[in-house]
Structure 1
């Protein structure tokens, strides 16, 4: 779901910038000066670890990312990197804040979106604290399944087992084993190596 219509972004001075696959949009600890919203492609926000990355979020068409530092004046808590070639609307912070003040309906939708993300983070943190790998995996899959309404009750998980591992803090070997177990329990279905959630 698009947070801010592109026509409104342009009205406040946004530019449509291209980023190549693998290119960083911003780095952890950088000050936040811009609002970002994806027009095409996908990006990931992540923290680099000693052995692997921990993915904080994956974002695609119409979604914005990296907003909390704009509102609360703190540095980015993670890196943002293009997973594919991207077109991203970029709007200066001062113009973004003016847009929110001038458009209470947009401001409300933005606040609602942040509340949904906060709820997801809370659920994922709770799942991770249980030390139950199956629950971690289902929590992350269900978040993305419910993020955007689908016409079909079946949701084909668009992530690799490695990406699921990076989002849940599990080893990829554990994810592979637990996905098989969840399929045996009927929680997931495996179709041509694809993970499907009903």
Structure 2
């Protein structure tokens, strides 16, 4: 769901910046001065760990990221990195806040989007508190399934088993075993090594 049309972003002075695959958009603890919205490519929001990253979110076309620190005035609690070559709209904080004040319908859609993210984050935290790895895996897959446009009745999971491990706090070996188990009981399907959720 595109929060702000690109024409409106341009009207308020946004620039369309390019980020190469692997390039950081911002680092954890940097002050928040800009609004970011993906035009093309994918970005991950993550915290770096000793052995692997913990992915907080994945964002693609039309999705924005990093807004809570921008609005509340605190530093970024995570890193943002391009996972493909990206083009990202970048708008100064003062211009972004003016855009929201001038366009109450955009402000409402933005508030609704944040509420949906908070709802899903709460569901994910509840799943993380359980020792059931299958529930963790299905919760994260269902989160992205709910975000995806409805073009077919089945949802093809667009990321690797390693990415699922990074989002659920599980080891990749555990994810591989549990995905096979979930396929055996019909919760998932495996087609040419791709994970599919009905």
Do the structures match in fold with TM over 0.5?
yes
| Offset from partner CA, 1:24-64 (integer Å, 9 cap, x none) | 00000000000000010000000000110000000000100
Partner secondary structure for residue 179 of structure 2: helix
Partner secondary structure for residue 71 of structure 2: helix
- Counterparts of 2:155 and 2:148, CA distance in 1: 11
| Offset from partner CA, 1:102-155 (integer Å, 9 cap, x none) | 000000000000001001110000001011100000000000001123121100
Partner secondary structure for residue 80 of structure 1: strand
- Counterparts of 1:69 and 1:103, CA distance in 2: 21
CA positional deviation for 1:171: 0.2
CA positional deviation for 1:188: 0.1
Q: TM-score, normalised by structure 2?
A: 0.99
- Counterparts of 1:52 and 1:11, CA distance in 2: 40
| Offset from partner CA, 1:83-105 (integer Å, 9 cap, x none) | 00000000000000000000000
Task: Give ranges in structure 2 of 5+ residues lacking alignment.
Answer: none
Partner secondary structure for residue 94 of structure 1: helix
**Superposition RMSD on alpha carbons, in Å?**
0.5
- Counterparts of 1:36 and 1:55, CA distance in 2: 18
1:25 matched to which residue of 2?
Answer: 25
Partner secondary structure for residue 89 of structure 2: strand
Count of aligned positions: 198
Task: Spell out structure 1 runs of 4+ moving beyond 4 A.
Answer: none
2:197 matched to which residue of 1?
Answer: 197
Residue 145 of structure 1 pairs with residue 110 of structure 2: no
